[in-house]
Amino acid sequence: MTNRIRIIPRLDIKGPNLIKGIHLEGLRVVGDPNVFAKKYYEGGADEIIYMDIVASLYGRNNLSDIVKKTVEDIYIPITVGGGVRSIDDIQELLRSGADKVAINTAAIHSPELIKQASRKFGSQCIVLSIEAKRKSESKWESYTDNGREKTGLDAVEWAKKAVELGVGEILLTSIDKEGTQKGFDIDLIKTISTSVPVPVIASGGMGRLENVRDVVVEGKADAVSMAHVLHYSKHTLRDIKKYAIDQQINVRDL
């Protein structure tokens, strides 16, 4: 029996709006994040991801208000990320109702933060967010600030190090594939998922149902996140789960 795969809508947020871009840029407003989150909860999402995708650029964090509102009537886990800089930021998001907090930029600048955070809040609620861009056949570089800033860090090595420091999960976004709807970066997902003992959420590139099979069966993803196909009603969560079950992928049945 394979592990049960989670299907996770990802909602990128800018200000009060749900937005969607390509390669994490070229942003377009989609609607009210709470309305979409509610729809996905009712549609059978296993979790929800909220990412404030400009927070780290402008150094502010308005997500906690949106989170507070969302958790009033959504009873599944919510991972929140974007602009998380300190233990206090994490505390604030958790107290607002987030179950897990995803950290990228601040973790790279100060790996000590993820160590302290996982000791204080538990590994299970500290998610490392990696934005990776392919450099060669089998090398990827970690970026920060939504794929704008190079770090020089090898994404695979960084993932391993962050797990040693205590992160309990990895949200792995391919900058090359994000928003393209051309499928996930299978090599990237597989390389990292088979290198670390913690679950990996694959992100970036979902366009067709077959992409789910590929990223789970070949890419060894533990969870699959998607945005565009859901926001623009190209597929429903029900379609995705039904397809997964047909492909003998173990998902939570609705």
Partner 1 sequence: MKEVTIVDYGVGNLKSVANAFKSLNCKVGLAQNAKNILSSDYLIFPGVGAFHNAMEELRQRELIDAIKEFNSLERPFLGICLGLQLLFENSCEFGNHVGLSLLKGSIKEIPSQGSEGLTHKIPHIGWNNIINQSPNLHPILKGLPQRPFFYFVHSFMAVPENSSDIIAKTNYNGIQIPAIAGRNNFLATQFHPEKSGSIGLKVLSNFLKM
Q: Residues of 2-22 as b/e, b for ≥16 C-beta within 10 angstroms? A: eeebbbbbbbbbbeebbbbbe
1 scored as a contact of partner 1 (CB under 8 A): yes
Of 47, 89, 99, 131, which is the active-site residue? 131
124 scored as a contact of partner 1 (CB under 8 A): yes
41 scored as a contact of partner 1 (CB under 8 A): yes
65 scored as a contact of partner 1 (CB under 8 A): no
Cβ proximity to partner 1: between 126 and 153 the closer is: 126
68 scored as a contact of partner 1 (CB under 8 A): yes
Q: Mark whether 131 is an active-site residue.
A: yes
Query: How many degrees, rounded to 5, is the angle at CA 169 between CA 80 and CA 37?
Result: 30
Give phi and psi for 240, each to the nearest 5.
Answer: -65, -45
Cβ proximity to partner 1: between 109 and 252 the closer is: 252
Give the helix, strand, coil percentages of the chain, each rounded to 5.
35, 30, 35
- Interface residue with partner 1, options 12, 21, 46, 212 (CB under 8 A): 46
114 scored as a contact of partner 1 (CB under 8 A): no
Nearest to 131 by CA among 107, 114, 111, 113: 107
- Interface residue with partner 1, options 77, 134, 154, 243 (CB under 8 A): 77
Query: How many degrees, rounded to 5, is the angle at CA 226 between CA 214 and CA 211?
Result: 15
160 scored as a contact of partner 1 (CB under 8 A): no
236 scored as a contact of partner 1 (CB under 8 A): no
- Interface residue with partner 1, options 34, 56, 61, 96 (CB under 8 A): 96
Of 12, 52, 141, 222, which is the active-site residue? 12
Cβ proximity to partner 1: between 108 and 170 the closer is: 170
Q: Which stretch binds partner 1 (CB under 8 A): 50-58, 148-156, 172-180, 193-201?
A: 193-201
For residue 5, the 8-state DSSP code is B
Nearest to 132 by CA among 216, 56, 204: 204
- How far lies 190's CA from each of 138, 182, 193, 205, 213, in Å? 11, 17, 5, 15, 13
Q: Mark whether 12 is an active-site residue.
A: yes
Tokens of 237: 């969560």
CB of 39 to partner 1, least distance (A): 14
Q: Which residues bind partner 1 (CB under 8 A)?
A: 1, 3-4, 6, 41, 46, 68, 71-73, 75-77, 94-100, 119-125, 168-169, 197-199, 222-223, 252-253
